[in-house]
Structure 1
Amino acid sequence: MTNADNQALTAALSAEYAAVYAYGVITAYANPERLKLVSEYAAAHRARRDATIDLLESRNAAAPAPEAAYQPPFVVNDPIPAAKLAVAVETDAANAWRSVVERADSPDIRLTGIEALTESALRLANWQAILGTDPVTVAFPGQP
């Protein structure tokens, strides 16, 4: 159990908190045809948040509490900005989990980071496809 592992996990947890909050905003403005997808992705972030809290606590590390609110980087008032917010959220989550992969000392923590990065990259690619972005993904997701 290293401090680097705990710091990386704590940063990733912050990204998951923000993602859970943002998916509430996304839900409010998403295209009604995408609500099942949005619900699935929100649930995935809640599950990853909870697993990360459990992992930190199992390592006797304090899991920080979420912020009371998170400010979206732009106004979200219809389905297109909602989808763009989802892209921003998944990009931020991928960046955070890539950092876990790079910074963690423990192979188990790196594996957790790889799994979470992969999940975020897949969700990001799907949102990029929905928005018509070309290409829908990059060679190294989570790279700033």
Structure 2
Amino acid sequence: MSTLDAARAAQAALAAEHAAVYGYGVVGGRVAPARRAEATAAYEAHRARRDALERTVRDLGGKPVVADAAYVLPFPVPDAAAAVRLAAVLEDRVAGVYSDLVRAAEGPLRREAAGALREAAVRAVRWRGSGVAFPGLTELTEPAVAAGRTAGRSPGQ
């Protein structure tokens, strides 16, 4: 793989992390109190990954993509149950971009991406209550997104 491929994949991962941070702001505001600490931990993990990816993009010679002011959520989030579903979707989407970064990168960056993919997959299982055979393959976790049936920019895309 080329450095350009890795830089593009790192930018995509950074954009997904920006979106996940935004999305977890919604999750944290709607999730049941019993799961609020879990949402906070995920929020902090995504912030840390976002900050690390900003440095990575710079190290690869790029200018880090900035966060959007707001993101279109994939569905309304009026209650705690929807917040849990959103958290699982956010993790699935983040896993997808890290899967791309694993393919594009080598060495330490590849190891970091694999670790981030694993963490997102574990969080998705915790939120969803079940796993998927191949974390990071969007078409197996989100048929509507894979078929292009979402409008606007959504968290993690």
TM-score by length of 2: 0.84
* Structure 2 residue aligned with 1:124: 124
Range with greater deviation from structure 2 (54-63 or 35-44) = 54-63
Q: What's the CA shift string for 1:76-129, capped at 9, x where partnerless? A: 01000000100110000000100111122x222211110110110010010011
Q: What's the CA shift string for 1:34-75, capped at 9, x where partnerless? A: 111110010000000000001111222110111110111111
Q: Partners of 2:15 and 2:126 in 1: how far apart?
A: 23
Range with greater deviation from structure 2 (109-118 or 41-50) = 109-118
* Structure 1 residue aligned with 2:107: 107
Range with greater deviation from structure 2 (55-64 or 119-128) = 55-64
Q: 1:138 aligns with which of 132, 141, 144?
A: 132
Q: Partners of 2:137 and 2:11 in 1: how far apart?
A: 19
* Structure 2 residue aligned with 1:35: 36
Q: Partners of 2:98 and 2:41 in 1: how far apart?
A: 19
The 5 A counterparts of 1:1-144 are 2-104=3-105, 106-129=106-129, 136-144=130-138
User: Which amino acid in structure 2 is aligned with residue 119 of structure 1?
Assistant: E
Q: Partners of 1:23 and 1:15 in 2: how far apart?
A: 12
Q: Partners of 2:12 and 2:81 in 1: how far apart?
A: 28
* Structure 1 residue aligned with 2:149: none
Q: Partners of 1:121 and 1:55 in 2: how far apart?
A: 22
Q: How many residues align?
A: 137
Identity of paired residues, percent? 36
**Distance 1:113-1:87 versus aligned 2 partners, 3 A rule:** same
Q: Partners of 2:27 and 2:67 in 1: how far apart?
A: 18
Gapped regions of structure 1 (runs ≥ 5): 130-135
